[in-house]
Structure 1
Amino acid sequence: MSDRALGLLAGVALDAVFADPRNSGHPVAVFGRAAGAVERRLYGRTRARGVVHVGVCVGGALGLGVAAERLGRRWRPVGVAVTAVATWAVLGGTTLGREGAYMAGALESGDLAAARARLPHLCGRDPSGLSEDELARATVESIAENTSDAVVAPLAWGAVAGVPGLLAYRAINTLDAMVGHRSDRYERFGWAAARLDDVANYVPARVTGVLACVLAPLVGGTAGEAAAMLRRDGHRHPSPNSGRCEAAFAGALGVRLGGRNNYGGRVEYRPELGDGRRPVVGDISRSVRLARAVNLSAAGLAAASAWAWALHMRRRRG
């Protein structure tokens, strides 16, 4: 098996064991602080300044990835280790599953206060007035969307472009979370980050949707129903990518997602995805189970793709 494939699988294993440490020393947190410092120097209400901000931050991450991968080429164990550590640093699948499990546990015990306090770990909605079922819907939608952002997309870019792909993708996705949302401050400055994130997630989101359809029987659904919802509703979401994940999860779980969302005073009405009932607390655990199955399948596909590409290149060299 190729170094890249081994490194990706080792990184997935590291994420399963260690997840994301809650401290300021995590590589993504370090990058976020650096990106914030760059923003303070470059900020302006223009798209051009936003493009420069993205170029500096993503370019820095990409350059670090190139340097790290070149170092790893000198000795195979180092190459595998570098890829594994980079994969661990950018994955968030285990943490996502744990957050979903926490929300399910809090709601099942009737602790709305704990669930509301925890929801910001998953999404940017105002949780203060959300009911039990609304918290369940927010959690299921966040798990569906972040299965692509936190696992499938970084693995896909790691398979295609190795350590540079892993680090550059996580930089793009982090910048989108920081400045790519709709607000008066970031409407123009965050445009480049949001559009680049859309491009980076275009294929991974659709892979996530297809995998959720195939694996729907694991959560009591059918592949046909999930695929029907993906085809019918996947394009209806304001995001060109999130809707594919959410529609497939809705079809697989037999629920109906979408509706009114309050983002700290900014209210948005999302189109409904799926034909089923509204999500309830029990659907959170089912969505976590589906997400974990998608994550494992994506890891296998990424490793197989990296291995196949390495074999192809060796054969071309003769």
Structure 2
Amino acid sequence: MRGSREGLLLGVALDVVFGDPRRGHPVAAFGQVAGWLERRMYGDSRARGVLYTGVLVGGAAGVGVLLEAVTRRPVARVAVTAAATWAVLGGTSLGREGRAMARALEEGDLEGARGRLSHLCARDPSGLDEAELARATVESVAENTSDAAVAPLVWGLVGGVPGLLAYRAANTLDAMVGYRSPRYEKFGWAAARLDDALNWVPARVTGLLVVACSGGRAWRVFRRDGALHPSPNAGRCEAAFAGALGVRLGGVNAYGGRVEARPEMGDGRAPEVVDVRRAVRLSAAVTLLAGVLAGVKR
């Protein structure tokens, strides 16, 4: 059974009004379970990682199947879908973090901004100046617009509550174990590849939604530069944002001692502090458009 469109739209509205719950967030609870299971299953092998990822993502999907099985009435199905959508969406929290970064940078509080960057991405903030912090924030807002808002709605449409929960489980595991570090190079391989696969379509949908909100310049950069990024998905989002905002994204990034030199995307100037709030507003517009489209009856 496919997702309840009314439930998805209501879930988006709940996220806009309430944001993430301050305590007892289901995603945080899942992260605790994942951490507990990692301590018991970890091994420096892909096979262990495949089993670990399969158990957790399959378990999340199974919970969704059970919830749909016990809520066959339309009103109950809408309510459960709305609750699940609210639990897995992060668009409002993303905007809140982006605005917090903007305030810190506007006030010249570089240490505060460096301290908050970990809320948005895994980039090493030490030594980043105002311009680099602004770029990191704009890039993170762009990528996370797909991860936190558009992708859950896509998978909710495709797979209902099981799709919502399975996607968020896979995305959370990628954030926990999917990075290329000595510990997770093999164990996190399955989580990273699964997240790439699940985000392939949503990332491109996000790029098109940015174009719909912004116009032709976003489309040109999206088409031309989207494939330059080492990630098969993040580049589509970042390129579209670069075109929409008229800025140039990409460059040298540091991740826990590992340095990556990424191609530049876009033709404009380097991002400035003012562009952080512009990126947050664009992300909100894309999220709203995605929610409306998800709720429209065919």
TM-score w.r.t. length of structure 1: 0.91
1:60 aligned partner, one-letter code: G
Hey, what's the Cα distance between the residues in 2 that align with 1:138 and 1:194? 21
Can you list the C-alpha shifts for 1:239-297, whole angstroms capped at 9, x where unaligned?
10000000000011010001111112211111111111100000011111111110011
| 1:34 paired to 2:26 | no
What's the offset of the Cα at 1:126?
1.4
Can you list the C-alpha shifts for 1:39-93, whole angstroms capped at 9, x where unaligned?
11211111111110011000100000000011111x3222111111100000000
1:238 aligned partner, one-letter code: P
Hey, what's the Cα distance between the residues in 2 that align with 1:265 and 1:58? 30
Q: Match for residue 81 of structure 1? A: 79
| 1:52 paired to 2:48 | no
Three-state SS of the structure 1 residue aligned to 2:187 is coil
After superposition, residues 266-305 of structure 1 pair within 5 angstroms as 266-304=258-296
Gaps of 5+ in 1: 217-222, 309-318
Q: Match for residue 182 of structure 2? A: 184
Q: Match for residue 62 of structure 2? A: 63
Hey, what's the Cα distance between the residues in 2 that align with 1:164 and 1:202? 19
Q: Match for residue 243 of structure 1? A: 235
| 1:13 paired to 2:13 | yes
After superposition, the CA RMSD in angstroms is 1.2
Q: Match for residue 71 of structure 2? A: 72
Residue 197 (structure 1) aligned to one of 164, 176, 195: 195
Is the 1:225–1:251 Cα contact (8 Å) retained in structure 2? yes
Residue 168 (structure 1) aligned to one of 166, 176, 185: 166
Hey, what's the Cα distance between the residues in 2 that align with 1:12 and 1:226? 25
Three-state SS of the structure 1 residue aligned to 2:184 is coil
What's the offset of the Cα at 1:3?
7.7
Hey, what's the Cα distance between the residues in 1 that align with 2:10 and 2:217? 34
Is the 2:3–2:160 Cα contact (8 Å) retained in structure 1? no
| 1:117 paired to 2:109 | no
Q: Match for residue 207 of structure 1? A: 205
Hey, what's the Cα distance between the residues in 2 that align with 1:164 and 1:252? 34
After superposition, residues 252-271 of structure 1 pair within 5 angstroms as 252-271=244-263
Hey, what's the Cα distance between the residues in 2 that align with 1:272 and 1:48? 36
Three-state SS of the structure 1 residue aligned to 2:126 is coil
Hey, what's the Cα distance between the residues in 2 that align with 1:188 and 1:22? 34
Is the 2:247–2:271 Cα contact (8 Å) retained in structure 1? yes
Hey, what's the Cα distance between the residues in 2 that align with 1:193 and 1:66? 21
Is the 1:228–1:251 Cα contact (8 Å) retained in structure 2? yes
Q: Match for residue 314 of structure 1? A: none
Would you identify which runs of 4 or more consecutive aligned residues in structure 1 move more than 6 Å?
Answer: none
Hey, what's the Cα distance between the residues in 2 that align with 1:297 and 1:166? 18
Hey, what's the Cα distance between the residues in 1 that align with 2:49 and 2:89? 26
TM-score w.r.t. length of structure 2: 0.97
Hey, what's the Cα distance between the residues in 2 that align with 1:41 and 1:129? 37
Hey, what's the Cα distance between the residues in 1 that align with 2:220 and 2:274? 23
State, as a whole percentage, how many aligned pairs show the same letter: 69
Gaps of 5+ in 2: none
Three-state SS of the structure 1 residue aligned to 2:70 is helix
Three-state SS of the structure 2 residue aligned to 1:271 is coil
Hey, what's the Cα distance between the residues in 1 that align with 2:171 and 2:49? 15
Three-state SS of the structure 1 residue aligned to 2:123 is coil
1:5 aligned partner, one-letter code: R
Is the 2:230–2:262 Cα contact (8 Å) retained in structure 1? yes
How many residue pairs match? The answer is: 297
**Residues 3 and 234 (structure 1), Cα distance of their counterparts in 2 relative to 1, 3 Å cut:** closer
Hey, what's the Cα distance between the residues in 2 that align with 1:198 and 1:17? 30
Is the 1:159–1:303 Cα contact (8 Å) retained in structure 2? no
What's the offset of the Cα at 1:98?
0.8
Larger Rg, first or second structure (1 or 2): 1
